[in-house]
Amino acid sequence: MERRKFVKNVGLAAAGSIVVPYILPSGRLFAKTGSRQAKHVVYVMFGGGLRNQESVQQRYLADSQNEFHSDNLDIEGNIMPNMFEGAAPDAKIVYGEGQKGEIIQPPLLSTPLAKQGLLFPETRSFTSSHYAGFVSLLQGNTLATQGLRQKPLHPTIFEYLRRHAGEPASKVWFIGHSINNSTPLMNHSLHADYGIEYGANFFAPPTTFGDAGINTYESSKIYHPEEEMPHIYKMKHFLDNYYQNVGRKLGELGNTEEEKHQIKTFMKDLYKNRQGSSVLDASIRVLREFKPTLLAFSIFGVDTCHGDFTGYLRALHNADRTLARIWQEIQSIPEMKDNTVLIVSPEHGRNLKPNPIRDQNDWYGYDHSDDNAKRVWSLMAGPGIPQGMTIGGEGDTRGTTNDCVPTIAEILGIKNEVMGSGLLHSQSRSFLDQI
């Protein structure tokens, strides 16, 4: 009898160990996903549009200003030393600190990310519009019907990840640079099969942790998670169920009560210490607190290029340091070190020819509307990514911004589900399949 009981228990334990991994937090049984190349992905989206010429091609002022000035501005050089390998410009230094931007700090990384990973120096964006580019980077598709201040029409990588891999909401984050235009709408799509219940947590740090957030949330109570919140939720559930009888129910992001408590406590800590009001700082603190499976964040400073080319160069240089700080932070978190892939891509580029607006250095600005504004690049580094490899180059375009989603999906083990959804652009495929 004892033997029978033992065999039965062993059988149940074995069955449980097989089944349990495929039960999502929501309680649903789900199909097995592929193996993961890394446990975490940090996805950096350059908003605002940056030219390949001043970034990956390291042409500094040579391609942008020299043609239009009597001074010799045929100056080349790398102003993003943490990302790309190459010598800095040797004259007309304006992109650093100090009153004239002449003070340049040494790179934070001893080896540039491109040398640590894989670079696609010449890829394409299907759009040269702000936000439409972001949406493409998040949904792996570029839809002509996508409007401004409208949620993505196709699922985002956040939704694919939460639905197909069963990631909890607190493991999927989008940190946006502001609450303007479409940014706060991009944490989930309107797609009927995905939507809010699979969305990402979102902060816009300048607002969430700036004056508006401080004045609104800092003094909020955190009700006791076991003695007070359960009463609120029980009464709310009764009221919601009663109201649902007449057909009304609001979708929710799906943070559990424990996750909500963790997020509230996290926010209160940042208010107490007056931290988190920049995208970089908030992203670092989200990394430390939640160790997210996917953290996407946007940087937007380069859009000054419309009328302040000098400010654009500084924004490029600052963005380079931001990325280096993020990479350093990833390597300092034991759970994420050597287990995180960093992916970087601009949403779109900028024009080949300048507009008539000149800045304090008499340098011309650039808009984003021509074919050059669809030239971008992509960079990735981390476990499983080939090191020091460059695919394509000027005149040899490889890949598009729509390829970032299937790449993330491959790294996080849901490639088949995402590719099989039929909702990506018809030419989208993982960068890792283009090597």
Single out the segment in contact with other proteins by CB under 8 A; choices: 120-128, 160-168, 226-234, 302-310: 226-234
Choosing from 243, 258, 388, 394, the residue that interacts with other proteins (CB under 8 A) is 243
Scanning 112-120, 209-217, 331-339, 357-365 for contacts with other proteins by CB under 8 A, the matching segment is 209-217
Place of tokens 């800095």: 88
Nearest distance, CB of residue 199 and other proteins, angstroms: 7
* Torsion over CA: 199, 204, 205, 211 (sign): negative
Among 30, 217, 281, 359, binds other proteins (CB under 8 A): 217
Q: Does 263 bind other proteins (CB under 8 A)?
A: yes
**How many Å separate Cα 332 from the centre of its chain?**
20
The tokens for 256 are 């559990």
Nearest-angstrom CA–CA distance, 114 and 84? 5
Beta strand 294-299 pairing with 201-203: unpaired
Q: Which is nearer to other proteins, 212 or 389 (CB)?
A: 212
In whole angstroms, how close is the CB of 134 to other proteins at the nearest point?
15
Nearer to other proteins, 8 or 234 (CB): 234
Nearer of residues 231 and 274 to other proteins, judged by Cβ: 231
SS3 per-residue string spanning 191-233: CCCCCHHHCCEEECHHHHCCHHHHHHHCCCCCCCCCCCHHHHH
CB-nearer residue toward other proteins: 209 or 363: 209
* CB proximity list for 330: less than 8 A, separation 6 or greater: 40, 42, 287, 336, 337, 340, 342
Cα–Cα distance measured from residue 192 to residue 218, given in angstroms and rounded to the nearest whole number: 36
CA distance 40 to 105: 30
Minimum CB distance to other proteins smaller for 200 or for 414: 200
Nearer to other proteins, 169 or 316 (CB): 169
Q: Is 266 in the site for other proteins (CB under 8 A)?
A: no
Query: Residue 230 CB: number of other CB atoms within 10 A?
Result: 13
Contact (Cβ atoms closer than 8 angstroms) between residue 253 and residue 169: yes
In the complex, least distance from residue 408 CB atom to other proteins, rounded to whole angstroms:
19
- Residues whose CB is less than 8 angstroms from the CB of residue 214 and which lie 6 or more positions away in sequence, other chains included: 271, 274
Binding of other proteins by 283 (CB under 8 A)? no
By CB under 8 A, is residue 201 in contact with other proteins? Answer: yes
Any contact of residue 216 with other proteins (CB under 8 A)? yes
Is residue 275 at the binding interface for other proteins, with CB under 8 A as the rule?
no
Cβ 274 to other proteins shortest distance, Å: 16
* CA–CA dist 283, 94 (Å, integer): 28
Using CB under 8 A as the binding rule, whether residue 226 contacts other proteins is answered as no
Burial class for 239, CB neighbours closer than 10 Å (0-12, 13-18, 19+): exposed
Q: How far is CA 379 from the centre of its chain?
A: 13
- The secondary structure of residue 51, as a DSSP letter, is -
Size of the site for other proteins (CB under 8 A): 51
Q: Stretches 240-248, 307-315, 319-327, 412-420: which one binds other proteins (CB under 8 A)?
A: 240-248
Of these, 7, 10, 212, 389, which contacts other proteins (CB under 8 A)? 212
Q: Does 258 participate in binding other proteins (rule CB under 8 A)?
A: no
Query: Nearest distance from residue 28's CB to other proteins, in Å?
Result: 21
Q: Is 279 in the site for other proteins (CB under 8 A)?
A: no
Closer by beta carbon to other proteins, 93 or else 161: 161
Tell me how far apart the alpha carbons of residues 324 and 193 are, in angstroms, rounded to a whole number: 37
Are 383 and 338 within 8 A, CB to CB? yes
CB 122 within 8 A of CB 394: yes
Select the residue interacting with other proteins from 10, 232, 389, 435 (CB under 8 A).
232
CA distance 415 to 430: 9
Strand locations in 82-196 (E): 118-124, 172-175
User: 219, 226, 395, 426: which one contacts other proteins (CB under 8 A)?
Assistant: 219
Interface pick for other proteins out of 47, 152, 199, 276 (rule CB under 8 A): 199
Closest contact distance (angstroms) between CB of 179 and other proteins is 4
Q: Which of residues 178-197 bind other proteins (CB under 8 A)?
A: 179, 184, 187
208 binds other proteins (CB under 8 A): yes
The angle, 0 to 180 degrees and rounded to 10, between the axes of the packed helices 404-411 and 157-165 is 30
Q: Where are the alpha helices (DSSP H) in 128-223?
A: 132-139, 157-165, 205-208, 211-217
Does 264 bind other proteins (CB under 8 A)? Our answer is yes
Binding site for other proteins (CB under 8 A): 169, 174, 179, 184, 187, 199-204, 207-208, 211-213, 215-223, 227-228, 231-236, 238-240, 242-246, 248-250, 252-253, 255, 260, 263-264, 267
